[in-house]
Chain A
Amino acid sequence: MSDHIQDEIIEQFQGLEWLEKYELLISFARELEPMHEQFMTEEYAISGCQSKVWIRTHIENGKLIIHLDSEAMITKGIIYLLMKVMNNRSPQEIVDLDLYFIEETGLKSNLSPARADGLASIIKRIREVAEMEIN
C-alpha cells in the first residue's frame, strides 16, 4: 500500500549521495519542534539508542500524536520523518503501517538491530504504544 507522504520522502532522497542524505536529515532536524527539557528524562527515554531519544505520546480525536526528540542531529532528522509519516493516524493504522520509505530511502542501514542508533527500538516503542491504545 503506498501513501503519498512516504512517496514524497522517497523522492526527496532519490539519487542523493550519503553525505547529501545526511545534510537533508540535518535540515529536517532543524525543523523538529524541540521537546521541553522537563521531559528529557529516563522516564521518557527509549533504551537501545546510542544517541538518547525521548518519546511522548497522547491521543487526540482518536489519533495517536507522537512527539520524539534526540540529542543527535541525524537521529533527529530520521525521527522527524517518522513523525511526519506516523502522526495523526489511529492506533490501528499505525500498527498496520508499512514503513517502506525506510528501505527505499536507503536509511534502512540505520535501522538494523546491530546499529546502536536503535531506530528499530523507536519504531517498536511506537507500535507498542499504539497496541496498548487498541487494547
Chain B
Amino acid sequence: MTDLRDDFPILKNKIYGQRLVYLDNAATSQKPSSVIDSISDFYKYDNSNIHRGVHYLSELSSDLYEEARKKVSTFIGSSDPSEITFTAGTTDSINQVAFSLKSTLMGNEVLISGMEHHSNIVPWQLAGAKIKTIPMDEDCNLLLDSMEITDKTKLIAISHVSNVLGTVNDIKRITEIAADHDIPVLVDAAQSIQHLPLDVEKIGCDFLAASGHKMYASSGIGILYTNNRYSDIMPARGGGGMIDKVTFEGSTYLSPPLRYEAGTPNISGAISVGAAIDYMQNIGLDKIREHEHDVYSYAKERLLDTDGITVYGNNEDMCGSISFNIENIHHYDLGLILDKMGIAVRTGHHCAQPLMELLGTEGTVRASFALYNTKEDIDILMDGIEKARMMFS
C-alpha cells in the first residue's frame, strides 16, 4: 500500500527539507487528487445552486449533490438517503441534534463516556442537560455493566473511536442496553468513519455524526444520520430551502432531509465526500482496515518498547490514534522537535480536557494514522523520539 502516498499531492512536499511524515490525521486528513479534482471540477463545469432552478446546471448540481447523499447513506449502511443530512461537521451535527432535542434534554441527563471530545459534551450542556459518564477501568475501557441509566437519562451520546486513545467502544452493546430503556443513542463517528466499516442499521443507533475533512474530503462539510423514527424532530435552523410554505402566522417544512438543510449548503463539500467515499471503496475498506491495523500494531509495539514511556489506554480493539508521554520530556517540547524533523504530531489536550484530568496529565503527544501511513513513517517517528531523548538527556 506504499504507493497510496502518491495519490496525495501534499505528501510529496518536503518539510524543512525532509519527507513529510504526517501523523496528525485525527485532526484532519490529507486529500487525494481525486477529491481535490471533484471540487475544482464542480466549480469548472457544474456549479449552480441546488433544488432551486429549472435550468440545466441547476439540475446537474442538484443531481451531483443528491448522488453524494446516496453514497453516504450506502457507505454507513442506511437504506434511506433521506436519513442523511449534510451539516458543517461533527460539531455542527451534534449541536443540531442538541437543539432539536432541547425540550426533552432540558433539566435531564445525557450519558456520555469520559473520553469524549468537547464537541460531544458542550452541546448537551448548552441544551440544558446534565452530563453523566459511563465508568471506565484504568485502561480507559468502558465498564458497560456499571452503566447507570435513570429516569432522567434522555440520551446516550458516545464516540465510536476515541480521538485521543484510539479505543474502539462497543457501540452495539450500548445500543442494546439503551433499547431496553427506550433511550436514543447518538454515535460520534468522527474518528471511526475513515477507519472502520459502519452500519447504522446493524449498530442500531438513532443519530450518527461525522466530519468530511477527517475522511479525506473537504472541510466545512459534515454528516448527520437521523433514523427515520426521528424524522419529525424540530429543525435546528430555518430559512430557504427547507420550507413547504411560509406565512407571517407560521411556516410548514419540507420532509427530511431538506427540512434540516436551511440555506444554500456546502455543495462542493458534499460532492467531495462522495468522491472520498469512492476513493476508499476503490481501494477496498477491508484492505484499508488491514493495512491500518498493521501500522497501528507496529506503532504500539515500538512505542511500548521505549524506555520511560506511558501509552494511554489499552484495548484489544484500537485504531486511528495513539497517545503517549515520555518521562522528563514535556509533550510540547517533543512536538516542536519532531516538527523540525518533518514529523507532524499533535500535542496538548486534544479537545478532551476531562479525559486529560482522568489520565492525570495536562496533555499528551498523539500520533494518528491514515491509509497512507506506513511502517516507515513509524520508524521515522521512533528515530525522532530517540533523537529528542538524547537532546534532553
Contacts and interface: CB of A to CB of B under 8 A. Distances in A.
Contacts of B332: 50-51, 72, 74-75, 116-117
Contact of A52 (B16, B362, B392): B362
A26 B387 CA distance: 14
A104 interface: no
A116 to B, nearest CB: 6
Contacts of B347: 50
A3 to B, nearest CB: 27
Interface stretch (A16-24, A59-67, A80-88, A94-102): A16-24
A22 B348 contact: no
A74 B333 contact: yes
B330 A71 contact: yes
Contact of A23 (B16, B330, B341, B391): B391
Contacts of A23: 391
Contacts of B391: 19, 22-23, 26
Interface string B300-338: 000000000000000000000000000001101100110
A79 interface: no
Nearest to A18: B340
A32 interface: no
A130 interface: no
A18 B342 CA distance: 11
A10 B337 CA distance: 21
Contact of B330 (A18, A22, A51, A116): A51
A116 B362 CA distance: 14
Contact of A22 (B16, B340, B363): B340
Contact of A72 (B16, B330, B340, B341): B330
A22 B336 contact: yes
Interface residues of B, number: 16
Nearest to B341: A19
Interface in A12-36: 18-19, 22-23, 26
A46 interface: no
Interface string B50-87: 00000000000000000000000000000000000000
B380 to A, nearest CB: 14
Contacts of A26: 391-392
Interface string A40-61: 0000000000111000000000
B129 to A, nearest CB: 28
Nearest to B330: A72
Contacts of B340: 18-19, 22
Residue among B330, B341, B392 with the most chain A CB within 10 A?
B330
Contacts of B336: 22, 74, 110
Contacts of B363: 50
A73 interface: yes
A73 B348 CA distance: 15
A23 B332 CA distance: 15
Contacts of B16: 18
A132 to B, nearest CB: 29
A24 to B, nearest CB: 11
Interface in B364-393: 387, 391-392
Contacts of B348: 50, 116
Residue among B333, B341, B347 with the most chain A CB within 10 A?
B333
A43 B347 CA distance: 24
A119 to B, nearest CB: 12
A31 to B, nearest CB: 15
A68 B336 CA distance: 20
A26 B348 CA distance: 20
A71 B334 CA distance: 13
Interface in B99-123: none
- 3 pairs of A and B residues whose beta carbons are closest in the complex: A72-B330, A18-B340, A51-B332
Given A18-B340, A51-B330, A74-B333, 20 more contacts: A18-B16, A19-B340, A19-B387, A19-B391, A22-B340, A51-B332, A51-B333, A71-B330, A71-B362, A72-B330, A72-B332, A72-B333, A73-B329, A73-B330, A73-B392, A74-B336, A75-B332, A75-B333, A110-B336, A116-B332
29 contacts: A18-B16, A19-B337, A19-B340, A19-B341, A19-B387, A23-B391, A26-B392, A50-B332, A50-B347, A50-B363, A51-B332, A52-B362, A71-B330, A72-B330, A72-B332, A72-B333, A73-B329, A73-B330, A73-B333, A73-B392, A74-B332, A74-B336, A74-B337, A75-B332, A75-B333, A110-B336, A116-B332, A116-B348, A117-B332
